[in-house]
Amino acid sequence: MQNFSYRNPTKIVFGKGTISQLGEETAQYGKKALMVCGGGSIKKNGVYEQAVESLTKAGIEIVEFWGVKPNPTLEHTREGIALAKSEAVDVIVAVGGGSVIDEGKAIAAGAASETDVWKFYIGEVELETAMPLISVLTLAATGTEWNGGTVITNEETGEKFGMIREQLHPKASILDPETTYSVNPYYTTISGVDAMAHLLEPYLTSSDEQIPCQDRMVEGYVRTLMETTEACLATPDDYQSRANLMWAASLAWNGLPFSGIGGFAMCAHLIGHSMSCLYDTAHGASLSLVFPAWLEYDFDLYKQKIAQMGARIFDLDAPSLEEGAAAAIESLRAWFKSVGAPTTFTEAGLPLDAVGPIAENGAHCSPKGGLARFDVKAVTELLEKVAK
């Protein structure tokens, strides 16, 4: 185990009917809120009405800001920041999935400063403070509701960058599993894949090997994500399945599973981000597409841990390390296919000639640290396995 420090001040309010507590949580931070929302699905499933009712009851004045897209954009974020400033709101309330909350965090960062928000993402200016943010989560996926991370896309430069800052932790996040009943099968699946990737990328690539608690957290959460994804596909309005999927996805990326594990590399996320950035591929879909191909590409580097994943998550009993690791990759790919997550370019709706542009972008956006080895040649070689 390596040295680390961990602090997660977000209050999680979990369960049926908890959106009624939104007003009370928000009122602790101000009287006027910018309510950040996506494309309108929350008007269909009743979440919007519940949120507005609770905020209104608590005496909160609401300024609505609609139109956050999956893979939220810098341009729309800047509009939100301008609105937050012109309306002099006290607090940001993000109601939606991971994209809405990520953009909510970006607006919270930009609205509390005179600096252009993108400078925080590219590391040109250090974030000092942010407006308080409350989130209402409607999709079990990214874990952003319980961490200080945010990712947005600069469409002008073709860059999808993230930052993680303590100031961006939501003050409170409300997780009502009933809000996810209306998530369609495809999004249920690829959201589960996203959460699995958050767990498995650090697990497979950690520089430290003596991390039994963290390994067991990951193995237990991934098993839960797989079981509950299947159960939600079978019965979309089963409360317990939706609740456990939502809880496992939140636990996946709250920082605990990777505390103390040393360095790790988010390889699938890196390449997936380039797909989303250039072709608007849904985030989770890019991950199921890249993940098995990446494991094959990096087989020798990570085969020990890949084999452990096979034995402990897929109950494989292989005669050798190599066979165990190979079978583990096949099991993961087969599971992705079984729940409808894409594992080829065609299944993800990507043209086969997208390999080149994605490889260029991925190499360009690689952090200088552990992922620098993913140059254009490496990403091309990796992607060619699944460009079919």
Contact residues for a second copy, defined by CB under 8 A: 1-18, 177, 210-213, 215-217, 219-221, 223-224, 227-228, 240, 243-244, 247-248, 251, 256, 259-260
For residue 4, the minimal CB distance to a second copy (Å) is 5
For residue 224, the minimal CB distance to a second copy (Å) is 5
For residue 269, the minimal CB distance to a second copy (Å) is 22
Q: Are strands 149-154 and 159-164 parallel, antiparallel or unpaired?
A: antiparallel
Q: State both tokens at 312.
A: 């402990």
Tell me how far CA of residue 249 lies from CA of 75, 265, 321, 362, in angstroms. Answer: 28, 19, 29, 26
* 110 vs 177, beta carbon nearer a second copy: 177
Closest to 362 in 3D by CA, of 298, 265, 277:
277
Strand partners, 61: 32
For residue 57, the minimal CB distance to a second copy (Å) is 19
Question: Can you point out the beta strands (E) in 216-291?
Answer: none
User: Are the CB atoms for 133 and 104 separated by under 8 Å?
Assistant: yes
Could you say which DSSP state residue 354 is in? G
* 228 vs 281, beta carbon nearer a second copy: 228
Question: Can you point out the beta strands (E) in 105-157?
Answer: 133-137, 149-154
Q: For residue 306, how many C-alpha atoms fall within 13 Å in the half-sphere facing its CB?
A: 27
For residue 29, the minimal CB distance to a second copy (Å) is 15
For residue 373, the minimal CB distance to a second copy (Å) is 28
For residue 211, the minimal CB distance to a second copy (Å) is 8
Length of the chain as a residue count: 388
- 168 Cα distance to chain centroid: 15
For residue 245, the minimal CB distance to a second copy (Å) is 10
Q: Distance between CA 364 and CA 159 in Å, rounded? A: 9
* 258 vs 345, beta carbon nearer a second copy: 258
* 83 vs 256, beta carbon nearer a second copy: 256
For residue 266, the minimal CB distance to a second copy (Å) is 22
Contacts 24+ apart (CB under 8 A), 377-383: 378/297, 379/271, 380/355, 380/356, 381/297, 382/271, 382/290, 382/293, 382/294, 382/297, 383/271, 383/290, 383/293, 383/355, 383/358, 383/359
Q: State both tokens at 100.
A: 């809405």
User: Are the CB atoms for 240 and 210 separated by under 8 Å?
Assistant: no
